[in-house]
Amino acid sequence: MRNDSRTIFASGLEGVVAAETRLSSVDGEAGELIIAGFPVEELASRATFEEVIYLLWHDALPDSGELAAFREELGARRTLPGATLELLRAAAAERVGAMDALRMAAGTVSLGGAGGSYDEALVLVARMPTIVAAYSRLLDGEEPVAPEPGLGHAANYLYMLDGEEPGEEFVRALETYLNTVSDHGMNASTFAARVIVATRSDVVSAVVGAIGALKGPLHGGAPGPALDVVFEIGEADRAELVLREKLGRGERLMGFGHRIYRVRDPRADVLAAAAERLYATDGDGELYKLALEVEKTALGLLAEHKPGRNLQTNVEFYTALLLHGLGLPAELFGPTFAVARAAGWTAHCFEQQALDRIIRPQSVYVGSRDRRWVPLEER
Ligand code: ACO
């Protein structure tokens, strides 16, 4: 970081505070995540996802009347217009990646002119699961399942994926995931959304930009590879051999380490408990046990590999296990993260709009200053 009296330079903006927010607080030293006043452990496994969206948007939990009205408002906006479905069909014909399809289809919310920021946010949050589920089915050569307005947000997402109403444990597990990752400080996609909306651009543009940022492997892309490693290991007694080889080749162990957390990511604990409950009632109990062994072995090897750094399990390790247990294919892990984080992105848009101040940092010019023009024929 370089400072003079008027500017601060920090590569990657590390250590720079870019906004005040009441939405979430990430304490990397203490391993603490607060979402709108609630420790994540208190909120995630109790609230419905609609309650968390409402909390982020209104800074208060809804009462029963408000919750019923909010559920209805979202439920009424889930259906995709024909143009969005046509776009998804064209994307599926070209086997476009699911995050790219989501980014393109989320932009179609501007068709038909949603009225104002709040309505844009409602439509985005309501439609994103429909887009992801429809696209997943189209990729599999199946017709999309129409949304069911009577079901909650999470239950309806699972229903649209496979056409069957999910059991209560499945809904609870998905809601726990969605709540846990609904917001997380000034992460890259949230910052992107705030930069866009700070120009007085619209919420749809901000969310489309945020989806683009989330797609990058340094941000939202680790859970698929984390699960691949568990499958590659296959048997608990192979964990040490496989993981040692990876570290020996200079590879990083996916699902471990974090830029901000210097202790265990609190979201990993919440999702580990949810995965334990899910796999106890339904699913591949052997896979869950294997994942625990892989985690234990990885932590031991990372302590040897980087003594003093305290590399711990991050949110992605148990995300992978939980979403896999819910029957989601790995290519939907990123889009499902977006479905959850849309709650935080839109809430940050409202905060930034209230502040109404453009985000405009500076750059340090490191190019030359003494060039002289050379005519084309002399170059
Ligand atoms: N496996 C092996 N070594 C690691 C790992 C890991 N998972 N994580 C960090 N290290 C090593 C680094 O290579 C570095 O070594 P060096 O000093 O020899 O270069 C050292 O530990 C310190 O690294 P950090 O400064 O703690 O890591 P950084 O902040 O640059 O990166 C990151 C954080 C990208 C999450 C990293 O830990 C990583 O690549 N993890 C694996 C990928 C992953 O799980 N990503 C999801 C993160 S959660 C999220 O973004 C929602």
The secondary structure element, H or E, covering residue 27 is strand 24-27
pLDDT for res 3: 59
Of 194, 191, 181, whose CA–CA distance to 339 is shortest? Answer: 181
pLDDT for res 222: 67
The ranges of the chain with pLDDT < 70 are 1-5, 113-114, 222
The secondary structure element, H or E, covering residue 8 is strand 8-9
**Ligand 1 centroid from CA 256, angstroms:** 7
**Ligand 1 centroid from CA 131, angstroms:** 32
**Ligand 1 centroid from CA 189, angstroms:** 19
Distances (CA, A) of 330 to 56, 85, 136, 319: 28, 22, 11, 11
Q: What is the pTM of this model?
A: 0.93
| Closest protein CA for atom 28 of ligand 1 | 259
Whether the CB-CB separation of 243 and 8 falls below 8 Å is answered with: no
Of 111, 42, 113, 127, whose CA–CA distance to 78 is shortest? Answer: 127
Of 118, 114, 107, whose CA–CA distance to 83 is shortest? Answer: 107
pLDDT for res 79: 96
Of 189, 259, 260, the residue with max ligand 1 atoms within 8 A of its CB, to mutate for a pocket test, comes to 259
User: Which atom of ligand 1 is least distant from the CA of 257?
Assistant: 37
Ligand 1 pocket member 304 (CB < 6 A):
no
- As annotated, the active-site residues are 258, 316
* Residues across the chain: 379
| Closest protein CA for atom 31 of ligand 1 | 259
Ligand 1 pocket member 217 (CB < 6 A):
no
